[in-house]
Amino acid sequence: MRHTISVLVENKFGVLTRVAGLFSGRGFNIDSLNVAPTQDPTVSRMTIVTRGDDATVDQIVKQLNKLVDTIKVHDFRDGEYVDRELVLIKIGVNSQTRAEVMQITDIFRAKIIDVQQNSLTIEITGDESKVEKFIELMRPFGILELTRTGKVALPRS
């Protein structure tokens, strides 16, 4: 089962290394990790997506809370948060496929951010299911390059 964990940490050198070390040292995998400062420049928010049963994730949360630079840890459950992901995807196009790629991009409310003779670079944001569906629809055209930010999330309350 996938879990999204939000960790507020002090914005200091080495904090990311300690968090990543906690996961690797205990044999936990990180599916995605996003780190950025918050409205307070002395605090950063880490959004970590990992897999495991509830007991495993509870153990991860306890270990994260023990780290010196940790301010707050929250294991998001369904409906408790809003999330988004950003993807940049370069699609191979020709004169026959360009219009169809542009139409699908428009349907998904994505943005074409670069146009070249043989490719379009598209920016799409949304929840994981929207992003995955868009990528699936782009595969037949030929994905030349793709990069993802990983999930960012905030609590609803």
Rounded-to-integer distance, Cα 41 and Cα 44, Å:
7
* Residue 57, pLDDT score: 87
* Residue 24, pLDDT score: 87
Q: Is the dihedral of CA 141, 127, 65, 8 positive or negative?
A: positive
* Residue 117, pLDDT score: 95
* Residue 27, pLDDT score: 86
Q: What is the pLDDT of residues 16-56, one digit of tens each?
A: 999 999 988 888 889 999 999 999 999 999 999 998 888 88
Q: Using 50, 70 and 90 to split pLDDT, how confident is the model at 157? A: confident
* Residue 78, pLDDT score: 67
Q: What is the pLDDT of residues 74-123, one digit of tens each?
A: 998 767 899 999 999 999 999 999 999 999 999 999 999 999 999 999 99
How many helices, marked H, and strands, marked E, lie in the chain? Answer: 4, 9
Flag whether pLDDT at 151 surpasses 80: yes
Q: What is the pLDDT of residues 127-150, one digit of tens each?
A: 999 999 999 999 999 999 999 999
Contact 139, 89 (CB under 8 A): no
Domains and CATH numbers, the chain: 2-76 (3.30.70.260), 82-155 (3.30.70.1150)
